Structure 1
Amino acid sequence: MSEIIIRIMGETDIVDVTMQADATATSPLLDGYDEADRINLLGHWMDQGRGAALAEDAQHFAAMTIIASAFIAQQPLYKSLGSGANFMLLTLLREKWPVGSKAKFKIQADQVGAAHTYLAVPCGAVKIDDLADQNSRKDAETQQLAATLAFYKANRKRFANSSAVHGLIKQN
């Protein structure tokens, strides 16, 4: 399979990683965490302006790649990559903690040192002719967000009031 870029978009940061086909890849930063913890950890890293700085560290960047690749590989959307798609958008947005369930969610967030739990939403896969062209990546990102807008609107109550998704919904 040719190179596939996953654009990880958190609440405040965006990092591009190359899809990793090796499902056995590991990182010491991920030891002891299950899939839900890893999503919360990645969401935490991509929030509050931490993502870009952490992506400059080789260990954190490798862990980001492992988490995003493993998540995407489990999605039905991943099968569309066989049709030539080479760019995917993955959003990690703050999850709303329902009244009466806050203690349970806080425990989940605390497991990775986060203030929130996060929902991972794969937004689509498209083919970009020149993956090195940042403008093409930005255009694909915009298209994928627009295509996922109906999902965000239908599920707006699942996202925290502080989540950037509410601003996106209001704009459209």
Structure 2
Amino acid sequence: MRRTARLLTGTALAVAAVAAVGAPAYGDDGGGDLEVSPSSVVPGGDVTVHTAACKDGGTAAGDASAVGAGEFTLGPGGDEQDANGRFRVPPSAQPGTYEIVATCAEGGRQVSGDLVVTLTAPREQVHPRGSVKTGVGGALGTDPVQTAAGVAALAVAAAGGTWLLHRRARGDGI
């Protein structure tokens, strides 16, 4: 009986722990945050922001004064309920992470997103091409005469080794 009670108590505690971890600690109505694109930009670059949080018309007042760009307007996008806007990061912006904020015109809901300012532009991934220059020559060159000589040398070495092993197996010695 004790064993069953412990098992049930342990199971109940595990379920309660999972439920507590999985449950959100805030009351979000599913509107979403402010999407900043690109998320990483160099000073002087253009940034586009988007949010689905502003219902009924999709307009909002944006604030990028943290990065020095000031205020901007978000208007209805492709979807009537979404709000989109643009601003330019000033050339004098210092590297760092900045919070961009938008306040919806209807209801006053505030959403935010992060913008990272870097001194180097994100580069596209470059795939390696060609051979590795290690300073050690390759086994096969482009000269067919040298290739044939190398193959012949290997064949002579293999034949000689086989002949020596055969003599040793017969007991003739070396």
TM range (shorter): under 0.3
TM-score normalised to structure 2 length? 0.18
Using CA pairs under 8 Å that are at least 6 residues apart, name the structure with larger relative contact order, 1 or 2.
1
TM-score normalised to structure 1 length? 0.18
Q: Which has the higher strand share?
A: 2
Who wins on radius of gyration, i.e. which is larger?
2
